[in-house]
Structure 1
């Protein structure tokens, strides 16, 4: 009887071990999130001016969605809305309402991190947060939580007071901006250096923030070797958000004479003030008005340098995953919270409905993911959350608006989950993208713009006043009204098309 009891215990232990082994076959998921990274700044996407060997590595080793969009924002800090949607799974206006629960410590169990934890995952987070919930209430292991952007260096207060004391001296608004704004005013403007640690920013604390995040990620990876559970990492870089600071060796890779001015560049966007993109918007105040080719190139140079520096950190993280022996059971998803204009249409920021500002790279790499595949289906970048839930074997909650891309990746469908892509910026802009066309609405101007995205991807030729396109404008406008209702968008724009028709 004693032997039978021992045998029964051994069999039970064996069964438990097999069950644990089966549970541990769940894949690991690493989510890498950049900030202000537009879809065009990857060498593999035919931008031969920039060096991004490790982002190219994700493109060649995985599947890329070439048309991934952010849905919109309720304030100028577009990343806040983008991240709230990513963490909550809710569409833009519903996320705005739901985040009010976070402010009073509620609703954490419905967040991305907690859903993964509930499925047996060890969860890790480092980097930019900028979400109303506390990072520690969403993820189990949290280090180096960063704010929305590195802190700006301010001009010398004593200098300003001295200027005030001189009778008749006019002090421009630029005087009261941080160092690094409203510049360069010319080739001799040396008021700020992108590589000088004395300005703090990314070097606050002594080490560049992108490098700190890379070290954190490698520490997480080492820690997972001693754990039985699958892991989920949320690695959120602040780069390449301004202040765009990188070591000098990275700036040296991009001489100004090798940088091109964007095709849609202009000194000033004619509707900038009415759409909330005037000099009072922080992003737009970085360079002087009207724009100059020199200032634009200088900002692009610093943008490229910070991206290449970011790319090197991502490469080290990927190497660390491979060296850990866990890559064969790990999915890596890379995207950014939105795009960035960087001179296109005379704009610098992300507060417009042009593709340069709302469209981001989106790559997924891992077991059974096709290599080197490019998919043109329209998706939302927040589909990353729903994708991870499917990979983890988690049933998507009803409140999650976004969808997994795995069925598209595996070729089970090619049109995607969305009949149209919706976009919004506060109460000043609305957008719909459908069937290769984009309609943008400027409510304050009672104006619509229409672009044929297949033939005019730079959005330079407005077709809205062409007689042959009036039915297209009408159809898209009605579709946009329907999307507003679906997404709980309460802004009334219905009067605009009625007046334009009259």
Structure 2
């Protein structure tokens, strides 16, 4: 032993060479086996902002002159806007449930898990997504957490409560699916003051009055140190302000963290009840609000969702006054949310991380708000199946628009690729990374599919849309180039017979490829394949 030490003392160059080789070998081993521990500092951050029920034109930057969204407009100037972003549909009357399940699992509409505890009682929901365990599906935030990211959630989750702990390292103010209005103790749907209005017997309700609860008194939960959500507790604060506070706090604290972050900030706004501070409501006098070009007092036929909760918010038929009131309160709520998003973006700038952060803003689906005589999202028209989608960050061209059709859920694989992470094999939606960065000029979906329960199916190209109502065995065909408002049904027009035939075949193929279990029972299946 003494001889070896003496040899090292008289051979410093040999010692340095040995140590250098050992260091290189150790670094190589760590790079191969512990990438999360050693390589995450250079990875980009992600701030994902999700609104609820925001129509595709409900932003000033997208051409709506009635609405004020200065911070979202700035975000659009800083990055790339996808003008034709879609949700694939729903197996639930609550379309946002299916949309968000597809979002976090990356699985298409008929394969995404349907047994989320949202369908059970909020207070007793336990256990992870059953399908998640059986099919080895990795949740979107789980991919980033496993790669060494701080993963943070605030706001509406609307999936399994237990899955919060699967994907996030921290979560503050996790909200419910939506917050209904009520006076005193909670009441049943349709009995509260937020429905069937405006009407003479509903004039006591105002959007800024906290005594009607809703967004003003949310019940939320926080993620505990054991990885489980704690008990729900009530907060006396508007949901948009509450979630923005949580996001700002996280960004302030993250300055001290070495690892990158993945933030999932999900607003309940502008989902009804349409409540916001009085100063925002007064910015939108109803008489100054434009009616949609495809406004109708009533939908011409029962599309399978006429009696659903969303459609009970305004009386039948929809008067011009009622539509203007609802749209004015809707815009006020979006402008209020926009202010809170501005606070989050300011905190990101002040954190010093903005230059290395991808920011994505989108919504889970759109909303009718008087278009086609409808109020909700349970319909196949563009105002309900489309939503805004803006992305900005390193390498993303500024002030650019992309008209290619994409699915909102493509954000899962896209962010994985932007982070240099492998996309799990279970993810079925395609990445639009090269389309977002401008590396490719085209790469969106050649055709978009949509579904709603057993009542509606659709295929959409850039130029046409075919809608099929299985229960009615009825079609609608629209020329989207000449009729973007989907007003004139061309399904019986002989001059469009070839388009109708071609899209029927494509509809059948999409239903087959995606696994529509109703396909065999549809009356027109044989006709569609001819």
User: Normalised by the size of structure 2, how large is the TM-score?
Assistant: 0.85
Equivalent residue for 2:483, pick from 445, 452, 456: 456
Shift, 1:96, TM fit: 3.3
Which residue does the alignment assign to 1:376?
A: 403
Greater CA drift, 139-148 or 413-422: 413-422
Which residue does the alignment assign to 1:391?
A: 418
1:196 and 2:196 correspond: no
For residues 314-463 of structure 1, the aligned pairs below 5 Å read 314-463=341-490
Shift, 1:475, TM fit: 0.7
Greater CA drift, 91-100 or 21-30: 91-100
Greater CA drift, 210-219 or 146-155: 146-155
Which residue does the alignment assign to 2:229?
A: none
In the alignment, structure 2 segments of 5+ residues that lack a partner are 1-7, 32-36, 118-126, 218-234
Deviations, residues 378-434 of structure 1 (Å, cap 9, x unaligned): 000011111111111112122111122111123343332423100000000000002
CA–CA distance in structure 2, aligned partners of residues 259 and 8 of structure 1: 76
CA–CA distance in structure 2, aligned partners of residues 218 and 461 of structure 1: 47
Shift, 1:240, TM fit: 0.4
Which residue does the alignment assign to 1:137?
A: 166
Q: Contact 2:115–2:130 (CA<8 Å) still a contact in 1?
A: no
CA–CA distance in structure 2, aligned partners of residues 156 and 426 of structure 1: 33
CA–CA distance in structure 1, aligned partners of residues 475 and 489 of structure 2: 9
Equivalent residue for 1:126, pick from 149, 154, 165: 154
Shift, 1:31, TM fit: 0.6
CA–CA distance in structure 2, aligned partners of residues 193 and 46 of structure 1: 29
Which residue does the alignment assign to 1:153?
A: 182
* Change in CA separation of 1:178 and 1:13 when aligned onto 2, cut-off 3 Å: farther
CA–CA distance in structure 2, aligned partners of residues 440 and 432 of structure 1: 7
Equivalent residue for 1:244, pick from 274, 297, 301: 274
Q: Contact 1:378–1:418 (CA<8 Å) still a contact in 2?
A: yes
Deviations, residues 436-481 of structure 1 (Å, cap 9, x unaligned): 1100011111110011112211111111110011111111111111
CA–CA distance in structure 1, aligned partners of residues 180 and 199 of structure 2: 22
CA–CA distance in structure 1, aligned partners of residues 16 and 335 of structure 2: 61
Which residue does the alignment assign to 1:485?
A: 512
Deviations, residues 190-237 of structure 1 (Å, cap 9, x unaligned): 131111011111110211111111111111112211111111000011
Q: Secondary structure at the match of 1:445?
A: coil
Equivalent residue for 2:265, pick from 235, 243, 247: 235
* Change in CA separation of 1:98 and 1:283 when aligned onto 2, cut-off 3 Å: closer
Q: Secondary structure at the match of 2:110?
A: helix
Which residue does the alignment assign to 1:169?
A: none
Q: Contact 1:481–1:494 (CA<8 Å) still a contact in 2?
A: no
CA–CA distance in structure 2, aligned partners of residues 9 and 55 of structure 1: 54
Q: Secondary structure at the match of 1:403?
A: coil
CA–CA distance in structure 1, aligned partners of residues 259 and 426 of structure 2: 27
Q: Secondary structure at the match of 1:451?
A: strand
Q: Contact 1:155–1:178 (CA<8 Å) still a contact in 2?
A: no
* Change in CA separation of 1:133 and 1:489 when aligned onto 2, cut-off 3 Å: farther
Q: Secondary structure at the match of 2:262?
A: strand
Deviations, residues 46-70 of structure 1 (Å, cap 9, x unaligned): 1111000011011100000000000
Equivalent residue for 1:113, pick from 131, 141, 145: 141
For residues 275-314 of structure 1, the aligned pairs below 5 Å read 275-278=303-306, 280-314=307-341
Deviations, residues 264-287 of structure 1 (Å, cap 9, x unaligned): 11110022x3x2222x31000000
1:212 and 2:242 correspond: yes
Greater CA drift, 426-435 or 130-139: 130-139
Greater CA drift, 89-98 or 354-363: 89-98
Which residue does the alignment assign to 2:67?
A: 50
Q: Contact 1:377–1:414 (CA<8 Å) still a contact in 2?
A: no
For residues 165-184 of structure 1, the aligned pairs below 5 Å read 177-184=191-198
Deviations, residues 158-206 of structure 1 (Å, cap 9, x unaligned): xx9xxxxxxxxxxxx99x52211001125x8513111101111111021
Q: Secondary structure at the match of 1:276?
A: coil
Aligned residues: 483
Q: Secondary structure at the match of 2:404?
A: strand
Could you say which structure has the larger radius of gyration? 2
CA–CA distance in structure 2, aligned partners of residues 130 and 177 of structure 1: 24
Shift, 1:495, TM fit: 2.9
For residues 8-23 of structure 1, the aligned pairs below 5 Å read 22-23=39-40
